[in-house]
Chains A and B, each alone.
Chain A
Amino acid sequence: MIEAILAIVVAASIYAILARDLLHGVIALSVTSVLSASIFFLASAPDVAITEAAVGAGLSTIIFVWAIRNTERTDRS
């Protein structure tokens, strides 16, 4: 179960790096955080899971979206 979730985490991270549309990359990062939080819960670490879910999927995504909103939405390279 944890291995399957880890495989999805790796796939989402690779997509976050290679995405042309930065908003899609930010959503992929958010997916990574949510899946990491579920892995922490499956590994019997509920405190870390709560923190990772709230910070990674919530605040980090908000800050990234605000940064994209103030700059550009496409990756020029």
Chain B
Amino acid sequence: MGDTQYGTDGPLVRRGKLLSAATGLAAASLALAVLAPVVMSDVDWPTAARDTIAADGYAATGATNLVSAIYLGYRAFDTLGETIVLLVALAGSVALVASTPGRPDLDRDGGPADSRGPGHTDIINVIAGKLAPIVLLFGTYVMLYGHTSPGGGFQGGVVLASGVIFIAIGRRAGGIGRISPSITAFGPRTLSVIEAIAFATVLALSFPGSGAALAGLIEATGASAGVAAKGVAAVGPIIALNIGIGLKVGSGVALLCVMMLGGDQE
């Protein structure tokens, strides 16, 4: 705002700053005028929706964590929309990162540049090597236990992406868990395949009736094996959605960050 063609000071710039300050003040007072009567009134908050969900949430969806019951059971289409928005945002960001002209070689500012890869120090070696598997394990736990304890698909997916970023930071050149000469465990291609399969699963589960079909399938499988699977079957769609969303979010965000760290140039 300061470095304009009119110089960093002068009547035009001062008027611009005054205008910004006045606009900010007007916006703040408008927000206060809207919120203050709501927050400071003596009328009780309406509790009809809260009481209904608290009474029927576990019976209707099978999930003890009522937040998961809401956004994966009662309002699952909202979650589908959010997943689609995240997919589009990640696709755009990955395209933007991939087209960055001449991404900097990662030893530009004096890190210990050797064949081990981007800026290796002892701290990064410890974090990447020792903490990454623990973070991945914790992310999987948060993703799978979303229906009984705080967590779920989005949370677990983001923690999984953090674990993969640890690995991408500390990798040796040409590493990231190379399985075969053309496949790496956490490389861009593997991550995009995982993301596509997970998103297809979420889409398949959002067709009307597919959740009930999955629950019926689990119940029938349990009956044929002699196990009463009624309670497990009811929460089956929520667990499946959690896994699908978690893998999609985790691999998508990890793909973006791996590309930012230069993982697709090996």
Contacts and interface: CB of A to CB of B under 8 A. Distances in A.
A and B associate in one complex: yes
A58 B158 contact: yes
Nearest to B160: A54
Which range contains the number of B residues in contact with the other chain? Answer: 20 to 34
Contact of A51 (B1, B158, B161): B158
B214 interface: no
A63 B158 CA distance: 14
A63 B260 contact: yes
Interface string A58-77: 11001100100110000011
Nearest to B150: A46
A68 B261 CA distance: 13
Which range contains the number of A residues in contact with the other chain? Answer: 10 to 19
Q: Of residues A51, A54, A76, which shows the largest number of chain B Cβ atoms within 10 Å of its Cβ? A: A54
A50 B257 contact: no
A72 to B, nearest CB: 12
Interface of A: 46-47, 49-51, 54-55, 58-59, 62-63, 66, 69-70, 76-77
14 contacts: A47-B150, A47-B155, A50-B142, A51-B154, A51-B158, A54-B155, A54-B158, A59-B253, A62-B165, A62-B260, A63-B256, A63-B260, A70-B100, A70-B104
